Amino acid sequence: MARIAFRLATATVGIVLLAGYLAAAFLVFDALRVLWSLRPGTAELVGLLVVATLGSAYLSYRFGTARLLAAVDADPIPRERAPELHRRLDALLTRMDVERPVLYVADVRAPNAFAVGGSGGGALVVDRSLFRLLPPRELEAILAHELAHLETNDGLAAAIVDGLVRTVVGILTLATLPALLALSGLAGGSAWIRGRPGDRSGAFARLHRLLAGGLAAGFVLVTLLARTRSRRREFAADDRAAEVTGDPLALARALRRIDRTADPVWPFAPLSTHRDADDPLERWLSTHPPTAERIDRLRRRAEAERPRRGREGWTGVPVR
């Protein structure tokens, strides 16, 4: 008798659960159908989505700069406080196509520097510890690297890519939401009706996992593509800094010093540095290539340039 009562109870719960999920799936589907019927022409719809995505990315990029500066409690560095730093920045700007950024100093719990904004004016933030850690030539190389990001508007491009990724993932999630709800209800409801509430081995549960896994895999794939682009931009900024300063080894030594000193748990680590990791997934998801790889590229560049110009511009200090 108790067993029959239990089965009746679980069957009732299963039916209610199934009905609730199917009703929710139908409501979402009907709402999407209504929205689709009200859509403009295909060209207008695509244009609207592109404009909305770009506008959202630009606003996030603009307001994000102010939020980031406030988050690290950055203070402007007036010329009278650091005349040599400003002089080196001025010299770099004469060789680069970028407007003068505002220099800031901050305590970000790790030796680092990062740039926010674009070629039309931005901000360059330097952690206080870099002034103690790096000699002037190496600090100049770090400034050149960050100016290279401003010169090519890497921050805006990254915001646009991120906005496109979020838009695509959002549209796909909305489009598949009715199916996800229906499959979840069918999987959970049928399990309760069978008297096995925790059983998720049925066909509906497998279909739900397959669809949800496909969405997750798509998100991971586009994220990996975006991170791959970010790592390429780091190499490009290294090359540009080496070109502008004429001293690839200065940047290589600076990266080595920062890598040896930096704490990998500080909140803004992805902005400027990457601690080498053995986990392939961590390396794929990183916004920066391994520091050792960046240093090796700069050393090879220095070796390739040395026969062409002799020892001019080379400090004679090896990378250790």
In tens, the pLDDT along 145-155 reads 999 999 998 88
Select the more confidently predicted residue: 96 or 229: 96
pLDDT bin (cut points 50, 70, 90) of residue 273 is very low
**How many domains in the chain?**
1
* Residue at 47 is within a domain: yes
Task: Report which residue type is found at 208.
Answer: H
CB-CB contact of 65 with 149 (8 Å): no
In tens, the pLDDT along 161-172 reads 777 877 888 888
**How many helices (DSSP H) and strands (DSSP E) are in the chain?**
10, 4
* Residue at 179 is within a domain: yes
Q: For the chain, first and last CA: distance in Å?
A: 80
Structure tokens given for 259: 């890598």
Average pLDDT over residues 275-297: 73
* Residue at 89 is within a domain: no
Q: For residue 274, is pLDDT > 70?
A: no
Give the pLDDT score at 312: 47
* Residue at 195 is within a domain: yes
* Residue at 316 is within a domain: yes
Q: What is the pTM of this model?
A: 0.74
Catalytic residue IDs: 146
Q: What is the mean pLDDT of the chain?
A: 81
* Residue at 99 is within a domain: no
* Residue at 152 is within a domain: no
The C-alpha atoms of residue 166 and residue 57 are separated, in whole angstroms, by 10
Nearest to residue 58, comparing CAs of 113, 112, 120?
A: 120
The domain in which residue 284 lies consists of 1-73+157-320
Cβ atoms within 10 Å, residue 282? 12
pLDDT bin (cut points 50, 70, 90) of residue 283 is low
Of the listed ranges 17-26, 54-63, 173-182, the one predicted with least confidence: 54-63
Cβ atoms within 10 Å, residue 16? 12
Give the pLDDT score at 277: 53
The C-alpha atoms of residue 139 and residue 132 are separated, in whole angstroms, by 10
* Residue at 124 is within a domain: no
